[in-house]
Amino acid sequence: MSAPVLTAVFHNWHCDHFGHVNVRHYAAAFDDAIFAFWSAMGTAKAGIVPVTAQQTTTFTSEVKAGDVVEITATLTRLGGKSATVQLAMQDAASQTLRATCEVVEVFFDMDTRQSAPMPEAVRMALEAK
């Protein structure tokens, strides 16, 4: 799957003293995008939910106040209890790549507080994309 899951606008208050968007705000945008991705896959209805186990961000070009970006999600690995999703942040107008974020998600049983097999309905939704 490689589809836009989120559009974000960065503002002056997202910028640091160097005048570009601070790393903490990239993390928030990527976190919102992974939440939107999983919501579209039906995880909000499950008692077993994905949680972030690892996140690696690579910054490729500067984002400034006023920039509008689109974040796309691509499933790159599907396991029994986990999945890896590659997020890409592009400038909405020029499609210039701004940053990528690889997220490893482990499925977690909210009752037992342990890792658990991915719900079949979620697996089916992921395989259909």
- C-alpha distance from residue 121 to each of 35, 86, 88, 117 (Å): 17, 21, 26, 12
Decide if 104 contacts 34 (C-beta within 8 A). Answer: no
Mean pLDDT for the stretch of residues 94-119:
96
Per-residue pLDDT band for 42 (boundaries 50, 70, 90) equals confident
Alpha-helix residue ranges (DSSP H) falling in the chain: 23-40, 120-128
Query: CATH: 2.70.98.50, 3.40.50.2300, 3.10.129.10, 1.20.1730.10. Which one for 2-128?
Result: 3.10.129.10
Decide if 86 contacts 100 (C-beta within 8 A). Answer: yes
Mean pLDDT for the stretch of residues 41-69:
92
Residue 1: pLDDT above 60? no
Q: What is the domain partition of the chain in residue ranges?
A: 2-128
Mean pLDDT for the stretch of residues 116-121:
93
Residue 44: pLDDT above 80? no
pTM for the complete prediction?
A: 0.92
In one-letter notation, the amino acid at residue 126 is: L
